[in-house]
Amino acid sequence: MFVYEKKLEHPVKIDRPNAALAKVIVSQFGGPDGELGAATRYLSQRFAAPYPEVKAILTDVGTEELSHIEMVCSVIYQLTRDLSIDEIKKSGFASYFVDHTTGLYPVDASGVPFSAKTFQSTGDVIADLNEDLAAEQKARLTYDNILRLADDPDVRDAIKFLREREIVHYQRFGEALRIVQDHLDSKNFYAFNPSFDTPARKKSGK
């Protein structure tokens, strides 16, 4: 189960509204490499994970991603406070505003709504973990691009924190993949997962 904690993982405190920046950062809420996709990906994949370390890391990273959704949404919420209609018209935010006002809705930077088609849950731990490694790199580079576009130090502080988490998650998923590969038959030097046809517990006689 999940229990709500009434705090952010890392503080978000932005003084100056900036609708143009909100419009690109929203991609890390509902875009192809965003936090909503990340949380949903890992929290779905974990049910097919065969080893305790892998079940743990998918559960715990997936849970952390939920708190990253909350941080990204807080950034957008604070960037779109107290906006005048003039600022909305000038900033390119009008196309979001017309449907959602300043409510939070998961879309990418060009307005395409979130889709579960951006990720997979294959039932195959090696395929899943390889996707997860790529996903962390893609999220990292999206944050790099946001940092190229954002000058406000308050925004940059939150984005830099989130970027660093992608790097740590990539590292942990790499270790999880190594743990999985250590369980493969020593004669199998290709990384594929035979567990659907020959369940691990049957082979080890447990």
Partner 1 sequence: MTDREKALKLVQTYEFMLVELNLYLDTHPEDGKAFECFEHYRKLAAEARECYVKKFGPLSAVQGELVNGKWNWVNDPWPWEVK
Give contact residues for partner 1 (rule: CB under 8 A): 3-15, 53, 56-57, 60-61, 64, 70, 73-74, 77-78, 168-169, 172, 175-176, 179
Could you tell me the smallest distance in angstroms from the CB atom of residue 199 to partner 1?
A: 23
Nearer to partner 1, 118 or 140 (CB): 140
* 3-class DSSP string for 83-100: CCHHHHHHHCCHHHHHHH
Q: What are 66's two structure tokens?
A: 């939920």
- The length of the chain is 206
Q: Report d(CA 105, CA 100) in Å as an integer.
A: 7
Nearer to partner 1, 104 or 184 (CB): 104
φ, ψ of residue 104 to 5 degrees: the values are -90, 120
Nearer to partner 1, 24 or 129 (CB): 129
Could you tell me the smallest distance in angstroms from the CB atom of residue 148 to partner 1?
A: 25
How is residue 32 annotated by DSSP?
Answer: T
Could you tell me the smallest distance in angstroms from the CB atom of residue 73 to partner 1?
A: 7
Could you tell me the smallest distance in angstroms from the CB atom of residue 171 to partner 1?
A: 9
Q: Report d(CA 20, CA 54) in Å as an integer.
A: 39
Nearer to partner 1, 57 or 107 (CB): 57
Q: Are 125 and 50 in contact (CB under 8 A)?
A: yes
Per-position DSSP letters for 103-122, written without gaps between them: ----B-TTSPBP-GGG----
Q: Report d(CA 204, CA 206) in Å as an integer.
A: 6
Could you tell me the smallest distance in angstroms from the CB atom of residue 187 to partner 1?
A: 25
Nearer to partner 1, 28 or 78 (CB): 78
